[in-house]
């Protein structure tokens, strides 16, 4: 679906929002994430609930087992072999759903169909994370999130504010996302100097983003617990 063929993007948005609210009873989630970098360093709050490694970093890190040894507890991937290995290692798996602004609709549909098949084979998967390759365009990103919600009606569809920015990340909550990932902590540095382009959020700011999008804000805590705020 593109704007050229479907100028009323509200149709997709309305359907995605309704499906999300139905699937999660009007709740949306946020979770603090830290990320293992290809050089072995970590970014994000040390006390983050989710310690994530992206499969694109695995080669430099020496593989999944090495990443786990360095503290990663979750992996973001779209390769079935990586997902299976991660499950075998007891790691949480999130499905990476890449997209590129302006790519043909047919390519997207085929990719999402393949990812959906993989998702069905792995019922323990934690959710689907749309990841823009290159620049995230406003409308295109929202449309892709709506497509993900249509394709994964019961899954957590996650907007990663580190990739999308705070504003676009929040808007995704109106187009099919039900969860925000970010560098979320009790306090953050002012966005000045080296922090000028940081997308770090405080817990209060994350909760505000969720509430302002019309959801009940829920924070994911360690050991799978959830706190309704």
Partner 1 sequence: MSLAAIASKVREGAPLSHADGVALFEHPNLMEVGALANQVRERMHGDITSFNRNLHINPTNVCVASCKLCSYSRRRAEDDGAFVLTVEQAVDKLRARMATGERLTEVHIVGGLHDGLPFDYFTGLLSALKKTAPGISLKAFSAVEIFFFHRLYGMSVEETLRRLQAAGLDSLPGGGAEILSARVRKAICPSKCGADEWLDVHRTAHRLGIPSNATMLFGTVETLAERVEHLLLLRGEQAETSGFQAFIPLPFHPENNALGDRPAPTAAEILRTVAVARLMLDNVPHIKAYWVSVGLATAQTALWFGADDFDGTVSEERIYHQAGALTPQALPGDEIARLIRAAGRTPVERDTLYRRVAEAS
Query: What is the contact surface with partner 1 in residues (CB under 8 A)?
Result: 2-4, 7, 9-10, 13-14, 17, 101-102, 136-142, 164-168, 170-171, 173-174, 190-192, 196-197, 204-205, 208-209, 212-214
Cα 149 to the center of its chain, rounded Å: 12
CB of 30 to partner 1, least distance (A): 13
Q: Could you tell me if 56 and 87 are in contact, meaning their C-beta atoms sit under 8 angstroms apart?
A: no
Nearer to partner 1, 136 or 155 (CB): 136
CB of 150 to partner 1, least distance (A): 16
CB of 214 to partner 1, least distance (A): 6
Nearer to partner 1, 128 or 142 (CB): 142
Given the DSSP bridges, would you call strands 42-43 and 27-36 parallel, antiparallel or unpaired? antiparallel
Q: Which of 33, 117, 45, 109 is nearest to 76 (CA)?
A: 33
Nearer to partner 1, 118 or 158 (CB): 158
Q: How far is CA 140 from CA 103, 146, 170, in A?
A: 10, 10, 15
Question: Rounded distance, CA 58 to CA 60, Å?
Answer: 5
CB of 8 to partner 1, least distance (A): 8
Nearer to partner 1, 55 or 219 (CB): 219
Given the DSSP bridges, would you call strands 216-220 and 226-228 parallel, antiparallel or unpaired? antiparallel
């Amino acid at each position: 679906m593109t704007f050229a063929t479907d100028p009323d993007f509200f149709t997709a948005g309305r359907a995605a929002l309704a499906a999300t609210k139905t699937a999660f009873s009007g709740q949306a989630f946020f979770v603090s994430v830290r990320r293992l970098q290809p050089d072995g360093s970590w970014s994000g709050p040390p006390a983050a609930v989710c310690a994530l490694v992206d499969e694109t970093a695995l080669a430099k890190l020496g593989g999944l087992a090495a990443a786990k040894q360095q503290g990663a507890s979750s992996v973001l991937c779209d390769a079935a072999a990586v997902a299976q290995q991660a499950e075998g290692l007891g790691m949480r798996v999130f499905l990476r759903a890449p997209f590129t602004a302006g790519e043909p609709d047919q390519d997207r549909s085929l990719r999402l169909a393949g990812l959906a098949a993989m998702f069905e084979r792995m019922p323990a998967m934690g959710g689907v994370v749309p990841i823009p390759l290159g620049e995230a365009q406003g409308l295109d990103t929202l449309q892709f999130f709506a497509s993900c919600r249509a394709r994964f009606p019961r899954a957590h569809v996650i907007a990663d504010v580190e990739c999308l920015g705070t504003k676009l990340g929040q808007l995704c909550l109106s187009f099919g996302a039900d969860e925000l990932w970010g560098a979320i902590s009790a306090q953050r540095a002012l966005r000045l100097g080296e922090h000028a382009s940081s997308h770090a959020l405080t817990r209060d700011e994350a909760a505000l983003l969720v509430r302002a999008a019309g959801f009940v804000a829920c924070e994911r805590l360690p050991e799978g617990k959830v706190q309704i705020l």
